[in-house]
Structure formats: structure tokens, C-alpha cells
Chains A and B, each alone.
Chain A
């Protein structure tokens, strides 16, 4: 799942566990290592343990078991203020009684940096987030997006090598969020800093990160680059959680290396790519992305599977059409088609043939 060879890793979690009440584990056996300069996102539903991991790294929570290492040195017993980790909070946490410049000056003052040096650094940090003229304002006089930029500048102004961000864009509207996502990734790469980013927004995770760690139930379900995560989910949770997904239940009939044969609950037999299944006879969930399904299966060539389907609903979405079909006894099978010239608009009740390539059809754990 995760590479535990953490010898030269910049940040490493080794067999970390965390419990708040002594009865249940919030984080179960976490192993993770990050090279310097990586942008890693922890993605997962709420309660999955991702924020706890971030807080343990920042030093606000202590690990119940295991070790957290920074540059090879265990930091479990180092208080947060000595870790030198920058952090951006979900609600920005800008000090309301200080001006923007004073907020930025704070980390420099506690590090006993001289006045002229401080001013230069503050100016540089503010310019970096295009907020050069706002030094004299109070946080309450700024918009949400502006506050977030200041929070970012404050986390960067003392030049930390590692910056943690806890759902920093959660409170912003969509457009602002997208432009800030872009800015944050650019800044991170420009400055060469290592970033651990926590979010529950999968688009954000996919667009910003070098790697994404998908959390569920206190464990990392999959740690991989965004494209790998989307295209080759290793288990049904990841497949469900990242992007849209059609699932069909079935049982393995045959398995031989890169292919297997699955008998669906409705009796149809299809080929699939075995990912997370071991034995013949085991139950499995077949996962197919909606955009990999064709309503006109001839175009896919001879390898394609075809199934009969009945149109239940047709939704016009502008650039795409979403069609809900009844396939193999399930009513929630979605197909996405591009809005091409001459593309047929299906009517509910119509019967069609749909098809997909066997390699797009992944047999995962049930």
C-alpha cells in the first residue's frame, strides 16, 4: 500500500496509531513517506482520520503509537512551535486584533528577526500572494479569498520547508477556489516547499497534488498519483470515492493473470481486469467509469463487451449527456456521452446496447 522504505524521506509516518478515548482507533497503522518538495493531499470523507494525521504532524495531537519523522528525526516529543512547520487553517485563523502586516510579522518576531529583515520578508510574502497593498488592513476588512491569501502568506513568511493546509479553500466559492488552487500549486512548486494538504473535495485533490492519499476508516486506502488513482483504483472504496463509478455485483468464475471472468448477479458473464480479487468463487464488484461506456458499442471494436440496457432517464447537461440505464438488474447505471453533432438523444423506455473494453472493467473487492 505505502512504501515504508523511509530512509531518505522528508516526512514519514511509521506505524502510527491514534485513539482519543482509548477504545477506538481513529488512525489505524498509518505508514506514509514523502520526499522533499512533494505536494501530497490527504483525501477522505469526514471522520476518516485525515485531519487527525495532519494535527499529529503539526504537533497539536500526539500519536498514541508509532513514530512521526521529519528529515529522519522523530518529532513526537517536539512541541508544535519548535517544529518549524507552516500551517494554513480552514477558517484562516488570522489574528483579528492585528493588521495584516502584524499578522505576518508575528512568526518573524517570535523568531527574533530584526526589524528591517522583517519588513523585507513581509513585503516579499505579501507580493507573492498579490496582496502588497493590504498590509495596513485588519482581517475583518478583507474578503474570504483575500483572507486566505494572507493566511497563506503568513504560513510562508518564515520560510518553512513543510507547509500543512487543512481544507484551506473549504469556505470559498467555486470560482475563487479554482483560481486559488492554481495559485497554491504554483507557489508550492516555485518555492520548492513540501505540502501536506487535507481536503474532502476530490477535484481539488486530483488537480493540485503530486500524490493523493485516500483515507477511510483510519487507513490509507490508496496512495498514488491522481491519474493512477482515477484510472486504476485498487479497491471499491477508492473507485467509489474518486469520480463517478458504476458498480455491478458478481462472482469470479475464472481467473488467469490479467483477465478474469465474472458471472454477474443477473446471470450474464463478462470479462474483467482482476485488481483486488484472489480466488475463484469470491464475490466481487465490477467497476466501470461512466465515460468509458459506449452506447454505440460497434465503435469499440471486436473486444468490447455488450450488454442490453433500458433507458430510464436522460439528462441534458450542456457539454455532456447523462443517461441512466437499467443494466443487469441494476437501475443506477450511468453513461456519460459527449454532446457531439448528431448524437442521438435517447428516450426513456428505449432499449439500447451498451459496451465497454474489458480493461476498463475492474474487478474489485466486494
Chain B
């Protein structure tokens, strides 16, 4: 640093003493011996330690990330995801965008044409029912409409197929189409692919070869090439077939007709025999078009002419949607904006409110029942307290289902409690109390099940309150009650806080017990979520409900922190 022989007093460079003096004089940042800011120096010194600590927790962190945070994040993401509609019906989504829903008229032929194409492809890939189910959440009936359409839609343009084949039998062959449209390179590739497929048989799973068109074809014959590519892809991936051996969909014939009608010069692309073949086919279909897609759909089901269907499709065409969240809030998205659903369909608001107030009731019952027990645990002699503690923990070692079923036995109409009340002549045999399959049942059973979660934090806080406080209060003139209320109780509040948070958060998401003893009015929002996950399979709505529940819990936690202060919550020590 400096000349070793220099007197320490004359050292002008950065020494620890000088650094401190400088810092004091200039009131700037404190400097370390080498002149770097002390904070930076400290951070560097601690970095190694921090890395070590991080290394120690890393396995658990990664485990939680993979098994907990990522799946939950993905699940919650489903609440806004709507990718299935634009992915399955790309042409329709694009075409229906310009349609004016307020006109009250069904959309143009172009929209129906796009829908026919999308449905043929979707049906080939067997995913048309999925998009039907998705849209069914928004407008009931769409699911069956899509399923039905899927059955019939491959007949779109059938008259054109017939006319083509009548003009020349060569149109029946897939190979005709392949040689008509594709490059020679593709032709040889697909022939080889076909040979391999035939050899292997059913278990053949090589991906289909992308169709390569001859130059200029894609620009001149957009519909035909588009349809033919999808056709090749669908039969290749679903059946392991090549377009060489399969007759294309009627829509491919129709597309070629439409392309040539729209752009007659495209005929120049074909040469020789092929040109003659196409001209022959065009002559055969002379005057047949344009094809009436709308009439075709009308024939499948008149419903397809209803503007409502197309409205729904238009509203839910984006890759993301607020629809699930709106449903979760008993609202729906209409072309006129967000509206409340009809009164008889509003269920989630009621369910959320019920979940909240029943969880509060359960928390409150747990405080009332748990407080005296925790007090006993904390104040009895050790041996007795241990026995009592085992009794408190005993439920933890018993299956949740067993405990809940026990309540079913106790609470039911012909159950132990009702029998006892009748035997004691407290209630008449005719009007036994309804203790189960309602809110009473849920509150009773869940209070019992969650009680340990209240008692344990209360106990660990009470254990730290020395008995001398109560003695001091009494010696100062307080009655037992005043001493408890003014001195003991305030010090046990952190335990009540911890227990309440625990019980409330557990209760708000509880599922099994309300499911078993809750009946109709005693179920929670979580039961509805479970229903959507496992029965209705509307995962988007389940995710939206779950997200709202999560947000509610976090909001309550935040509120609690503001009012009580999370620092005041003690789980022990």
C-alpha cells in the first residue's frame, strides 16, 4: 500500500483508520481498508457464504419448482388460455372477424367455407370434439353441433368430386393428384415413405413428408395446395397413408375448381396430358359453382344459420380469453360487453361467499374450543400435559376419511346423536335434527378436523407466557378474569393469529369433508373446482376459480398483515 518505513501517522493513503476518519469527515459511504466502499466489500465477503447456503437449499428449491410451482403455474395459466380455438379453427377465426354480429344475419359463404375446411382437418385429426367442448362452456349445445358436423363435413363439395371423376377416372387416383401438383423430388420421397410404411405396417410412426409443390402452384392455386397439404398431413399422421394411394377429400376437388374459377390463367401451369385432364374436369363442372357452403351446413343442422353461434365463435376466437374468469364471477362476455348471467345461473358468487363465512365460522369455533385446551396443555404438569397432547395429536394419525365418515355415523338422521336426543326426549322422533348434508354438518366436522391446527400454535405461544404474569396481575389487585383478559389474553393473541390463519386458509380450500358431509348447501368452492377438474373437464374454469381463491387468500393474508402484523404471528418460541 505505502512505504513500509513510513510512520503510521503520516500515511495518507487508505488505511482503516484513515478510511473511518474520511468517512466521518465527508459523511460519505464508509470505506474498507483498500478504499472500496465498505458495503461492497462486505457483500463480496458474504457472497461465498450465500452461495453455499443457496447450494444447500438448491435440491429442495428445484424439487419444489418442478413438482409444485411449475404445474400450479401451468394450471393457473389455463384460466386465460384459449389457444384451442385459433389453433383448431384458424381459417374460421380469420374469416369470421370481419362479420358484423349486430346485423342479425348469418355470416357470408366465405366464413362457412373456412369452417368446412377447418372442420374437415379437425375431424381427420379427431380434435373437432375438443373445440366443441371448449365452446360449449360459453354456449350450450355447441358440443353436439360440432360432433354432428364432424360426421358429415367430409362430404362438403361431393358433387364436384363426382363430376371430376365422371370426366376422367384418373381423378379417383391419389397418384394423379400427386403428379399433378408436386415436385418430382417429393414424388420419389413419398413413394419411398409409402414403401417403408407398407413394410412396417400399423406400428409405422415416421412423420409424413411435407408436400413440396411445383413452382408457382402455391401462388396460383392457394386453396388447392392448402387443402392438399392438410390432407396429406392428416392421412400421413393418423393412418400412415400417403396421398399416392388415397383419394383426396371432396374439398380438394372443390378447391381446385374454385381456384381455377377465380384465376383462369392458372391453367397455364399444367402441361400436356395433365392440362387436358384439368381442362376436361373444368368442362365437366362448368356452371356448377359457386358451391353453397351455407346450404350444406343448413342441411347438417339448421342451428348453423343462427348468428348466436358465430357470435360466440367471434368473441372467443383469440388465443387468450377472460371468459373463464367472467364465468367464475357469474358474468359472461357478449358482443355488447360484460353482463351478469341470468339470476338462476349465478352460483359462484354464492359459493365464494359461503366458503368465506363458513371458513370464518369454523375458525371461530376452533378458537372457542381450542383455547381452553391449549391453556390446559400449557399449564398442566408435564406428565398430564403429555397425555393430553397425545389426545390432541391422535386425529393426525387417523385417516381423514375415517374421521369424516365417523361424523357421518354420528350426525345422520338415524345417527348416534339424533338417537340420543330422541331417547332423552329432547326432540321428537318425528322431527329429528338435520345435522348432516348441510352447513351444520360441514362446520361440525371441519371444526373437529382442523382443531389441532389451532391448538398447536396456541399452545406453543402460551407455553412462552410465564405464569408469573398472572400472579403479578393478581398481586396488583386484578380478579382472575381481569388478570386473564388484560394480561394473559393479549399475550396469547399472536397464537390466535397464527392458528386462525392456518385454520382459515386450510378451511377455505378444503374439499373432502364438505364433499362427504356437506350435501347441497354445505359444499365449498373447492368442491366446484374439483367438479370442473374431474367431471365437467372444464379445466379453464377450474383454474379461474382456483386463481380467484388464491388471490382471495393472498388478499386476506395481506389484510391480516396490515391489521395484526405478520411479525406478531408466532408458531412457537
Q: Mark B459-475, 1 if CB is under 8 A from A, else 0.
A: 00000001011011111
Is the beta-carbon distance between B466 and A158 smaller than 8 angstroms? no
Is the beta-carbon distance between B472 and A93 smaller than 8 angstroms? yes
A344 at the interface (CB under 8 A from B): no
B468 — which chain A residues lie within 8 A by C-beta?
A: 89-91, 93
Q: Which residue of B lies closest to A84 (CB)?
A: B477
Is the beta-carbon distance between A154 and B466 smaller than 8 angstroms? no
B residues 466-493 with Cβ under 8 Å of A? 466, 468-469, 471-480, 482-483, 486-487, 490-491
**Total count of chain A residues near the partner, CB < 8 A:** 27
Is the beta-carbon distance between A158 and B475 smaller than 8 angstroms? no
In Å, the complex CA distance between A59 and B466 comes to 18
| Residue of B469, B475, B482, B486 touching A87 (CB-CB under 8 A) | B475
| Interface band, chain B | 10 to 19
User: Which of these binds chain B: A3-11, A33-41, A103-111?
Assistant: A103-111
A182 at the interface (CB under 8 A from B): no
Is the beta-carbon distance between B471 and A93 smaller than 8 angstroms? yes
A106-B486, A110-B482 known; A93-B469 Cβ under 8 A:
yes
Give min CB distance, B520 to chain A, whole Å. Answer: 46
| Residue of B475, B478, B483 touching A85 (CB-CB under 8 A) | B475
Give min CB distance, B150 to chain A, whole Å. Answer: 70
Q: Which residue of A lies closest to B465 (CB)?
A: A96
A residues 81-119 with Cβ under 8 Å of B? 81-87, 89-91, 93, 95-97, 106-107, 110-111
Q: Which residue of A lies closest to B478 (CB)?
A: A110
A90 — which chain B residues lie within 8 A by C-beta?
A: 468
Give min CB distance, A194 to chain B, whole Å. Answer: 15
A91-B468, A93-B466, A110-B482 known; A81-B490 Cβ under 8 A:
no
Is the beta-carbon distance between B466 and A106 smaller than 8 angstroms? no
A290 — which chain B residues lie within 8 A by C-beta?
A: none
B residues 192-228 with Cβ under 8 Å of A? none
Is the beta-carbon distance between A158 and B477 smaller than 8 angstroms? yes
Give min CB distance, B573 to chain A, whole Å. Answer: 15
Is the beta-carbon distance between A106 and B478 smaller than 8 angstroms? yes
B483 — which chain A residues lie within 8 A by C-beta?
A: 81
A95-B487, A97-B490, A97-B491 known; A81-B474 Cβ under 8 A:
yes
Is the beta-carbon distance between B473 and A89 smaller than 8 angstroms? no
Is the beta-carbon distance between B471 and A106 smaller than 8 angstroms? no
User: Chain B binding site: helix, strand, loop or mixed by DSSP?
Assistant: helix
Give min CB distance, B490 to chain A, whole Å. Answer: 5
A97 — which chain B residues lie within 8 A by C-beta?
A: 490-491
B469 — which chain A residues lie within 8 A by C-beta?
A: 93, 95
| Residue of A58, A96, A106, A155 touching B491 (CB-CB under 8 A) | A96
In Å, the complex CA distance between A97 and B466 comes to 14
In Å, the complex CA distance between A81 and B474 comes to 5
A145 at the interface (CB under 8 A from B): no
A83 — which chain B residues lie within 8 A by C-beta?
A: 475
A80 at the interface (CB under 8 A from B): yes
In Å, the complex CA distance between A86 and B476 comes to 6
Give min CB distance, B438 to chain A, whole Å. Answer: 41
A155 — which chain B residues lie within 8 A by C-beta?
A: 475-476
Is the beta-carbon distance between B475 and A58 smaller than 8 angstroms? yes
A91-B466, A93-B466, A96-B491 known; A81-B478 Cβ under 8 A:
yes
Q: Which residue of B lies closest to A163 (CB)?
A: B475
Give min CB distance, A161 to chain B, whole Å. Answer: 14
Is the beta-carbon distance between B477 and A110 smaller than 8 angstroms? yes
Q: Which residue of A lies closest to B468 (CB)?
A: A93
Give min CB distance, B555 to chain A, whole Å. Answer: 28
Give min CB distance, B182 to chain A, whole Å. Answer: 85
Give min CB distance, A160 to chain B, whole Å. Answer: 9
Is the beta-carbon distance between B471 and A80 smaller than 8 angstroms? yes
A96-B491, A158-B477 known; A89-B472 Cβ under 8 A:
yes
Give min CB distance, B93 to chain A, whole Å. Answer: 63
In Å, the complex CA distance between A83 and B476 comes to 9
In Å, the complex CA distance between A82 and B482 comes to 13
In Å, the complex CA distance between A96 and B483 comes to 14
| Residue of A86, A89, A96, A158 touching B471 (CB-CB under 8 A) | A89
B477 — which chain A residues lie within 8 A by C-beta?
A: 81-82, 84, 107, 110-111, 158
B479 — which chain A residues lie within 8 A by C-beta?
A: 81, 110
B471 — which chain A residues lie within 8 A by C-beta?
A: 58, 60, 80, 87, 89, 93
Q: Which residue of B lies closest to A86 (CB)?
A: B475
Q: Mark A57-86, 1 if CB is under 8 A from B, else 0.
A: 011100000000000000000011111111
Q: Which residue of A lies closest to B476 (CB)?
A: A107
Give min CB distance, A55 to chain B, whole Å. Answer: 8
B residues 417-461 with Cβ under 8 Å of A? none
B487 — which chain A residues lie within 8 A by C-beta?
A: 95, 106
A95-B487, A96-B491, A97-B491 known; A87-B478 Cβ under 8 A:
no
Give min CB distance, A260 to chain B, whole Å. Answer: 49
A154 — which chain B residues lie within 8 A by C-beta?
A: 476
Give min CB distance, A244 to chain B, whole Å. Answer: 34
Q: Which residue of B lies closest to A85 (CB)?
A: B475
Is the beta-carbon distance between B475 and A106 smaller than 8 angstroms? no
Give min CB distance, B89 to chain A, whole Å. Answer: 65
Give min CB distance, B472 to chain A, whole Å. Answer: 4
Is the beta-carbon distance between A80 and B474 smaller than 8 angstroms? yes
Is the beta-carbon distance between A106 and B490 smaller than 8 angstroms? no
In Å, the complex CA distance between A58 and B473 comes to 12
A93-B468, A97-B491 known; A81-B475 Cβ under 8 A:
yes
Give min CB distance, B355 to chain A, whole Å. Answer: 34
In Å, the complex CA distance between A83 and B36 comes to 67
In Å, the complex CA distance between A271 and B490 comes to 67
In Å, the complex CA distance between A64 and B219 comes to 110
Interface centre among A60, A79, A106, A155 (most CB of B within 10 A): A106
B486 — which chain A residues lie within 8 A by C-beta?
A: 106
Is the beta-carbon distance between A80 and B475 smaller than 8 angstroms? yes
In Å, the complex CA distance between A110 and B479 comes to 8
A96 — which chain B residues lie within 8 A by C-beta?
A: 491
Task: Provide 21 A-B residue pairs closer than 8 Å at the C-beta atoms, listed in order of the A residue.
Answer: A60-B471, A79-B480, A80-B471, A81-B475, A81-B477, A85-B475, A86-B475, A87-B475, A89-B472, A93-B468, A93-B469, A93-B471, A93-B472, A95-B472, A95-B491, A97-B491, A106-B473, A106-B478, A106-B487, A110-B477, A158-B476
Closest 9 CB pairs of A and B: A107-B476, A93-B472, A87-B475, A93-B468, A80-B474, A97-B490, A110-B477, A110-B478, A81-B474
Q: Known contacts A58-B471, A60-B471, A81-B478; can you find 20 more A-B pairs with CB under 8 A?
A: A80-B471, A81-B479, A81-B480, A81-B483, A87-B475, A87-B476, A89-B472, A91-B468, A93-B468, A95-B472, A95-B473, A97-B491, A106-B476, A106-B478, A106-B486, A107-B478, A110-B476, A111-B477, A158-B477, A164-B475
